[in-house]
Structure 1
Amino acid sequence: MATLWTRWLLSILLATLPSCFAQDPPAAPSPPECCTPCGEKNNCVDIHCSNPGLDPQIQYSLHWEQANSEEGHLINRFAPGWIIPRENFSHGELLVWIQAKNEYGSAESKKVMLKTANILKLPPPEVASNQEAFEIFWNFTCDEHQRSYCDVRYRTKTEQVWIEDKDVSGGYTIEIPQPCTVYELQVRCSCGIGLKSDWSASHRLRSTETAPVGVLDLWQDFCGITQTGSDCVLTWKKLPPTCGLILGYEVKLSYNNGTLEFLNVSTAEPKGLLVCEEIQCHLTSSLKDLSSVSVSAYNAQGATEPSNLTLPMPGKEKAFHVEMNAENLTVSWDSSSQLSDNLKEYVVQYKQIGSPPGQGFDWVKSQRTAFFKGHYKKYTPYRVSLFTLSHGSEVHHISSVTRYSIEGSPSAVPAFNVFSIAANQVTLSWESGPLSEQKGVILYYQIIVDSGVQGQYVYNVSASQKHKYTFKLEHLTPEQDYEVRIRAVTVAGPGENATSKFKTNSHEDLAHRISTIMIGVSVVVVICVVIALYSIFVRERNVCLPSFYYKVPDARNSNIFKNNHLINDSLSWICIALCEPHPKISLLEVVEIQSRVFKSSLEKASDPEGLTRPVIGDECSQMDSQDDKREEAVPEECHRTDHRYGREEYSKMVDSEEERDKEEKKGEDCWSSSEEDNSTSGYEKHFMPTTFELLTV
C-alpha cells in the first residue's frame, strides 16, 4: 500500500516540475559591427558583419533593408559573422540588426544605419624602423582628395597596457626611451571618413644600451673539495635581460704556477667553449691546476666589474641540517655565532649526482638558511654542500651530505665474493656500488650466515664512505658447508640479496702444509748458512781442504798405508793445523843420515852437538820467511820441486821402484835426493822436510 502511494506522489511531482523551471525568451543581442574590407587591389565589394559576444546556444539571424525601401532581407546562420553580398544591396544607407530566437520567444538588437561609403576599411600599413634614431615610419596611400589619418600605440615588452597617440602621419619617434628596453609598436590608418584599418604587425625597437650593471654570480659546478679541479667546470648565472644584450664574456684564468690565460668567449659563436641555458652559462674546459678565476660580461657599451672566485679549500667542519622532498630543498645551519669580519656569507649548493655539467645544479648565497624550489627525482642522489665565502673571494668547503627526495630499497650488493677460506674462518668482500644505483642512503649491510645444522647467524656491518668492504667470519666449523647472503639496508628497508656458498677446509689443509714445509726449508737454509760461516771461521785457524786440493797429501798414496784398509773413504776433508797457538809437540828431533853431503856439512859446523836442534813452530811469520829463503836456496836445476816448498807436485810423483831409480839418477846433481830415496818412499820424500831444511831453520 505504501508503495502505491509513493508512486502516485512521484508522478504528480514529475508532471508539475517542468512548469517550475520555465525559461524566458533570449535577451536582446548587441548591434552588429559591419565594414567593407578592401584588399590589396581596392576591390571593396561585400559587407562583413560580426558580433563576437553571441551565445553559441542560441540561434541568431542578420537582418537588413534599404533605408528608403521596406523590402527586407535576412541571413539565418549559426556563426559569429555574416556577409552581405554586393548584389543584395545598393549604395546608400542600410539598416542592419540581429535577431535572437529560441523556443520561448525572440529578441532583436538595435538597428544600425550604415552608409556604404563610410564603412570602407583599407588594409593596415607596412611599418619600417630606424634603430639609431629610435623611429618608425610607414606608407599609407589615399585618393588625391583624401588624406590619411593614423594612430600609433606602443608598450614595453614587460607591460600589458598600450600607450596610444592619434592623428599621426608619416612616422613616429619615442623621445626618451628607457635604456636597455625593448619597445613594441603598432600603426593603423584610414582615408577621410572611412573606417580605421586593423593594427599592423608589432614592430620591436631596442633602446640604446648602457654598460651592464652589477657582477656575475660566479660559482663552480660541484667537483668535491679537491683543489686540482680536474672534474670542475666554471659556471655563472645570467644577468637580467633588461640590462641589454650580452655579446660575450671575458675570462681570466690564474694557474697554480703563476701563469695567466685570457679568454674572450662570444655568445653568438661560442666555438664549443661556452654553453648557455635558460638561467646559467658554463665553460666546457676543466679547472685543473687553476688557483682562481674572474669573469665579466660585456655588450656594445661596456662590461661589468669582474667577478672573482678561488677554488674551494678545506675549512672547519660545521654540521648543517637538510630537509628534502619532491618539490622543496631546505638547508639550515647554526647561526648563533656572529659572522667574522672576513666572512662575507655562506654558499649552499646542490648537485644531482651523475648529471652532466650545468644540469641538476644550483646554488644560493645566504647567511642563515637556503631554500630551493624545484622538481627532485625520487630514488636519485643529490649532493648538498655548504661553503663559506670571504670578502677576499676565498672559498672554504665546510661539509657535504648525500640526500634523496624519496628513498627506496637498494639493489643487490655488487662484487660479493668469498676468499681466503680456512678451517675456522673466511673473508668476505663486496663493493658499495655507484650512488646512482643505491636508491637511498645505505645505513648498514646485513650479512646472514646459514650452516644448515647449526642455524643462522646475522651480522650488521656499518656503512661508511669507502667503496670496498671486507669482513671476516670467524669461529666456523671445519669441513662444513655454508651459505652466506648480504644485502644493503636503507630507511625504506633491506634490498635484494647477493648469495655465495663455500665449504671450510680441514685442520691439515694445504696452506698449513705449505707453511710447515716453508718453515722447514727455512730452518735448513739457516743451518747451512751457519755451517758455511763456521767453515770460513775455521779456515782462518785450520786449513780444511778437500782431498783433491793439490797442496794437501792423501794418506792413501803412502807406502805405509798400502794394503791397509784403516782409512775410511767417506772422509772427504783432512785438516792441517798451520798456526796452532799451543802445539802438543814443540821439538822435532833431526836424525843424522850418513851421506857425503851431510858429512862435509857437519864437519864444517862449529858446534859438534848441533846434529840435534829444536825447531819452534809458534810463529807463522817465521815459517813464511823461511819458506821464502828456501825458495832462493834451491837450485833451478831441481825442476821437480815445488817453487815454494821445494817439493815436487803431487800429481807428478810416482811410487814405483823403477820410477824412483830413474828419479835418483836424474837428480844426482841435487844434494838432497840420493840418500833420502833409499830410506823413504816417494810420499815421504815429497811431503816430509829434508835435513837441510831442518838445519837451516
Structure 2
Amino acid sequence: MRDSLPGVSRDERPGSRCNGHTSVHLAGHRAKLFSLSTMKTESLLISSRALCVPPAPPAPPSLPQCYIRCGEENDCVDIHCSWDPKPDPETNYSLHWEPAISEEGNVINGTSSDGIIQRKHFKHGELRVWVQAKNQHGSATSQDARFNTADIIQLLPPKLLLVTHEESLEISWNSTCDEQQFSWGHCDVQYRIEGDQVWLQDMDIFHGSYTVDSPQPGTVYEFQVRCSCHTGLTSDWSAIYRIRSTETAPDGDLDVWGDCGISHTISDCVVTWKKLPVSQAHGLILGYKVRLSYNNNASEMLTVTPVQPLGRVACEKMQCPFTFPLKDAASVSVSAYNTHGATVPSYLAMPIPGKEKNEQAIRLVMTEEKLTVSWDLPSQLSDHLQEYVVQCKQAGRPPGHGFDWIKVNKSQTTGIFEGQYRKYTPYQVSLFTVSDSSEVRHLSSAIGYSLQGTPSTVPSFKVFYIAPTDVTLFWKSTPLAKQNGVILYYQIIVESGANPQKVYNASVSPQRDNETFQLLHLSPGQEYEVRIRAVTAAGPGANETAKFKTKHHEHFGHLVAVVLGINLLVVTCVALVLYSAFRAPCFLYKVPNARNSHIFRHMKHMNGSLSWICIPVYEPNPQISVLEVVEIQPWALSSSLEKTSDPDRFTRPVVGDGGSKTDCRDDQRKEAVAEEGHGTNHRYGREEYSKMVDFDEERNRGENGEDVWSSSEEEQPESGYEKHFMPTAFEVLEV
C-alpha cells in the first residue's frame, strides 16, 4: 500500500531553526514509505520537534488609551497613552499620532507598552493615535483612537473628609474641578466593612458628601470616591479612607465548645470559643470573663485578654483556646467585653466521664476544600434535644489545636465545613447532642480523608503459636498517622513450595491495637511463607513477610505412657503422705487441756475389745483453745509405770485437736494395764474420763442455787487436772 505525501526536505535558510533544531518543511513531491516486514502497516514518523510554526509578523496591539493627567502642580499638559502588547521581546512598538485634519505626523519608537506625547508635539483639538508593532518578519498596526484633547483630561482623585454622627457616618470631599477651573460633573462612592471582599457602590452623586445610615456600632468602614468634571475623564478611585463607627456594648452569644481529645475526660479538655463577628462585637473586644464552676459548688472568676501573659488564652485567627486546668470543673461560662459592656455569658457543661455512648452511624464526604457530614434522625426525636454539634479535628493533634465545630438545628441532619484539608491526613469527625439542660452527649465518631493513598507496612508481624496443622499470626495495627486512608482489611498471603498460594482477608478491629489470625488446615512438618499487607480504597500497601515450619505429630502411645506414669507417681506420693499423717499420732503421747474435756463425752465407750482402734470422733463447732502438748516416749512411760506405787498418776493422753484418738497400744500392754486398774478404767487403771468435771461448763452450786467456786484461796485442794494428768513429785524425780 502506497500513500502520496509531501516530501520532506531541510531548509537551512536563516530563521528556519526552532529551539536549536533544524526545521523540516514539507515539499510537494512524493515520499517513500518504508515497509516493516514484521508489521502489515506502513507509517511515517516525524519528530514533533521538527515541525515548528514558521516565523510570522507580530499580532496587532490593542487600541491605545490616552489621557492628560493633572498632577499636584496643575501640569495638565502631556498626553499619556498605553496599550496591551503581546509578550514578545523581539518586537518593537512605536506610537504614532497626527491631527485629525492634517497629514503631518509624529512617531515615538520603543519596546515598552506605553508612551508619552509631550505638549510641544501636538496641538489642542482632535488627534488620531495608533500603535505599530514590528519584527524581522513583518509589522502590524492597531486601530485608530480619535479624541479631542479637552475630553481626555483626567483630574486627581478627590480628598475625603470625615463628618461623624452617633447614629450615622458621613463623609465629604473636595473636587479638583475647581482647581482647574472646570465645572463640576458627578462622583461615585463605594464602601464596605473592613475585611469584606465586596464593595457597595452608589453612582452619580452630584454633591460632595455621602451618608451611611445606621452603621454597625464599633465597626470600621472603608470608603473610596472618584469624580469627573463637566468635561474630561473620570478620576481614579481615591485612597481607602477608614472610619470606625461609635462603639456600644457587644451583644449575642459566644460560640463556646470543648475539645477533650480521645479520652473524653475533663482533665484533658480545652475550652475554646470563636470571636464575635463584627456585627455583634460593636467595637474593639478588650478581653473575656471566664467563670469556672466546680463539683463541690465552688466557683472561680478569671479575666483574660486575647494576648495573656500567663498563657491562659491566645486567640488565633477566629478561635481563642483557653488552656487553664479544668480538673473537677462542672461547667464553664464565657462572656466578651469592651469599654461599653459585656455579652450575656455563654454556658457550657463539661462532659460526664464514663457516660454511656449511644452509637449512631455518620457518613462523610470529604474533598480538599469541603467536608460534608450527614446522619439519620432518631426514630423518636427527644423533646429535650436542643441541637447537634459536629466537630472536625486533625487526628493526632493535642486538644484545642487543629479543630473546628459547627452547631446544627435539631431538625437537620447535615453539617458542612469549608476549609483546606490535607491529602492522606486523617481527620476525626465526631457528632454530639446538647440537651435543653446543656448536657453534652457523644454519639459517634469516624475518620475521614480528603484523598486516600496506600498504607505503610504493618509495624510488627510474628508467628505467635505453631502447631502441626495450624498457627496463630500476630501483628500490630498500622498507626493512624501512617495509614494514609481508611484500612478496609488486612490481606494475608500463604505460600508453601509448589502448592498454590492462599489469600485470606482479615477484618479490622478499630478498638484494638493488636490483631491475630489463625491459619488452619496446614500440613505437619511443612515450611511456609506468609505475607501481610494493609488495604485501603487506594489499594494494598507494602508486604511484611514471616516464615515458619509446622510441627510434626507426636506418638500417641508414648504420650499415654508418660501420662499414666505421672499419674501413678502422684497417687503413690499422696498415699504415703496420708499414711504418715494417720500413723504419726500413734507413737506420741499428748496431754490435752482439761478445758476441752467436754469433747470426749461424745466418744464411744472404749472398754470393748475393739477399743484399741484409733477412731476420730467429730464434734461440730468445737471450742478449742491452743493446747500445750507434752510428748512422752513409750519407754519413759513404761519405766514410770513399773516404778510408781500409784499407777493412777498416769493416764493415756487424748489428742485435743477437734476430735479424740484412742491409744493404739498392742493387746498385751492393754491387758497388763487393765489388771492393775482394780475395777476402774480397764485400759489405764483410771477412772473414766467422762466422769471428770469440765472446767468451763461445771461449777459447784451454792445452797441458794448460785454459781460459786468449790474452794477458797486458803484451801487449795488438788484440781481434777492435777489429780488425773499431772505426775507426782516422786514420779518426776524417778523419771
Could you say whether these structures have the same fold, taking a TM-score greater than 0.5 normalized by the shorter chain as the test?
yes
Among 483, 505, 508, the alignment partner of 1:438 is 483
2:547 to 501, 504, 518: 501
- Asked whether the equivalents of residues 152 and 185 of structure 1 are also in contact (C-alpha less than 8 Å), the reply is no
Aligned mates of 2:366, 2:61 — CA distance in 1: 57
Greater Cα offset, 395-404 or 53-62: 53-62
SS at structure 1 position matched to 2:586: helix
Q: Establish whether residue 391 from structure 1 lines up as the match of residue 423 from structure 2.
A: no
CA contact (8 A) 1:220 1:232 kept: yes
Which segments of 5 or more consecutive residues in structure 1 lack a partner in the other structure?
5-9, 12-24, 544-548, 555-576, 590-612, 635-642, 648-697
What does residue 179 of structure 1 align with?
A: 217
**Pair 1:199–1:499, CA change in 2 (3 A):** closer
Partner amino acid, structure 1, of 2:406: W
Q: Deviations over 1:169-227 (max 9, x none)?
A: xx99978654233233568999xx99999876433111012222321222233624x54
Q: 1:586 to 1:369 in 2, by over 3 A?
A: closer
CA contact (8 A) 1:249 1:264 kept: yes
Separation of aligned partners in 2, 1:28 and 1:417 = 77
Cα distance change of structure 1 residues 303 and 420 upon mapping to structure 2, 3 Å threshold:
same
Indicate the residue corresponding to 2:294 in structure 1.
Answer: 255
For residues 163 and 275 of structure 1, what CA distance do their matches in structure 2 show? 43
- Structure 2: distance between partners of 1:513 and 1:293: 74
Deviations 1:30-79 (A, max 9, x none): 8x54356345xxxx6783323567889985445699xxxx9999563666
SS in 2 for 1:584: helix
| Matches for 1:548-563 after TM superposition, within 5 Å | none
Say if 2:453 is the partner of 1:365.
Answer: no
Q: What letter matches 1:339 in structure 2? A: L
Q: Does the alignment pair 1:538 with 2:586?
A: yes
Pairing of 1:6-155 with structure 2 (within 5 A): 33-34=67-68, 37-38=71-72, 47-51=77-81, 59-61=94-96, 76=108, 80-82=114-116, 84=118, 97-100=127-130, 109-112=146-149, 155=191
Task: Give the whole-Å Cα distance in 2 for the aligned partners of 1:217 and 1:230.
Answer: 21
1:127-156 alpha-carbon deviations (Å, 9 max, x no partner): 799999978899999x99x9xx99996734
1:608-619 pair list within 5 angstroms: 617-619=684-686
Instruction: Give the aligned partner of residue 600 of structure 1.
Output: none
Q: Given the alignment, which residue of 199, 206, 225 partners 1:159? A: 199
Determine whether 1:466 maps to 2:509: no
TM-score of the two chains, using structure 1 as the length reference: 0.61
Unaligned runs of 5+ in 2: 6-26, 29-59, 87-91, 133-139, 592-630, 637-660, 674-679, 690-719
1:229 to 254, 266, 284: 266
Q: CA-to-partner distance for each residue in 1:423-468, whole Å, 9 max, x for gaps?
A: 5654432111322222333333344444447765555433212111
Q: C-alpha displacement at 1:232, in angstroms?
A: 3.3
Count of residues in Structure 1 that have an aligned counterpart in Structure 2: 550
CA contact (8 A) 1:218 1:236 kept: yes
> Counterpart of 2:251 in structure 1: which amino acid?
V
- Answering whether residue 532 of structure 2 is matched by residue 486 of structure 1, we say yes
Residues 1:503 and 1:172: Cα distance change in structure 2 (over 3 Å): closer
User: Would the alpha carbon gap of residues 462 and 231 (structure 1) be closer, same or farther in structure 2, given more than 3 Å must change?
Assistant: same
Amino acid at match of 2:332: V
> Partners of 1:491 and 1:113 in 2: how far apart?
70
Return the alpha-carbon distance in structure 2 between the equivalents of residues 403 and 27 of structure 1: 51
Q: Mark the CA change 1:541 to 1:432 in structure 2 (over 3 Å): closer, same or farther.
A: same
> Structure 2 CA distance, aligned partners of 1:76 and 1:281?
61
Residue 641 (structure 2) aligns with: none
Q: Structure 1 residues 105, 526: closer, same or farther in 2, change over 3 A?
A: closer
Report the Cα offset of residue 331 of structure 1: 3.1
Correspondences of 1:156-305 after superposition (within 5 Å): 156-157=192-193, 159-161=199-201, 177-185=215-223, 201-221=239-259, 223-224=261-262, 226-243=263-280, 244=282, 245-269=284-308, 271-285=310-324, 287-305=326-344
TM-score normalised per structure 2: 0.58
Q: Where do residues 288-687 of structure 1 align in structure 2 (5 Å cutoff)?
A: 288-312=327-351, 313-335=355-377, 337=379, 339-356=381-398, 357-359=400-402, 361-366=404-409, 367-372=411-416, 373-421=418-466, 426-452=471-497, 458-464=503-509, 465-473=511-519, 479-504=525-550, 507=554, 530=578, 533-539=581-587, 579-580=663-664, 583-586=667-670, 588=672, 617-619=684-686, 625=723, 630-631=728-729, 634=730, 644=732, 646-647=734-735
- C-alpha separation in 2, matches of 1:523 and 1:402: 61
Q: Distance in 2 between matches of 1:106 and 1:258?
A: 84
Q: Is the Cα–Cα contact under 8 Å of residues 410 and 494 in structure 1 kept in the other structure?
A: yes
User: Which is higher, the Rg of structure 1 or of structure 2?
Assistant: 1
**Which residue in 2 is equivalent to 1:609?**
none
Q: Give, as a single letter, the amino acid of the residue that structure 1 aligns with 2:191.
A: R
SS at match of 1:483: strand
Letter in 1 for 2:408: K
Deviations 1:365-404 (A, max 9, x none): 1333214244544433332322222122222112223333
Distance 1:124 1:72, change over 3 A: farther
Structure 2: distance between partners of 1:108 and 1:490: 64
- SS, match of residue 210 in structure 1: coil
Q: Distance in 1 between matches of 2:578 and 2:498?
A: 54
In the alignment, residue 462 of structure 2 is paired with which amino acid?
N
State the distance in 2 between where 1:427 and 1:27 align. 78
Distance 1:53 1:321 in 2: 55
Which whole-Å CA distance do the structure 2 matches of 1:614 and 1:294 have between them?
Answer: 95
The amino acid of 1:47's aligned partner reads V
Aligned partner letter, 1:498: E
- Would you say the 8 A contact 1:26–1:107 is kept in 2? no
- Aligned-partner SS, 2:458: coil
CA contact (8 A) 2:78 2:116 kept: yes
In structure 2, relative to structure 1, the CA distance for the partners of 1:550 and 1:382 (3 Å cut) is same
Q: Distance in 2 between matches of 1:82 and 1:60?
A: 9
Question: Could you tell me which amino acid in structure 2 is paired with residue 617 of structure 1?
Answer: Y
State the partner residue of 2:650.
none
The one-letter amino acid paired with 2:247 is: E
Amino acid at match of 2:79: C
Worse-superposed segment, 125-134 or 453-462: 125-134
CA contact (8 A) 1:579 1:619 kept: no
CA contact (8 A) 1:628 1:644 kept: no
Change over 3 Å in CA distance of 1:131–1:421 after alignment to 2 = farther
Quote the RMSD (CA, aligned, Å).
5.8
8 Å Cα contact 1:412-1:487 kept in structure 2: yes
**Cα distance in structure 1, aligned partners of 2:569 and 2:681:** 54
Q: CA deviation at 1:99?
A: 3.2
Contact 1:431 1:469 in 2 (8 A): yes
Distance 1:618 1:415, change over 3 A: farther
Are residues 71 and 439 of structure 1, via their aligned partners in 2, closer, same or farther at CA, if it must alter by over 3 Å?
closer
Q: What's the CA shift for 1:334? A: 2.9
SS in structure 2 of the partner of residue 317 of structure 1: coil
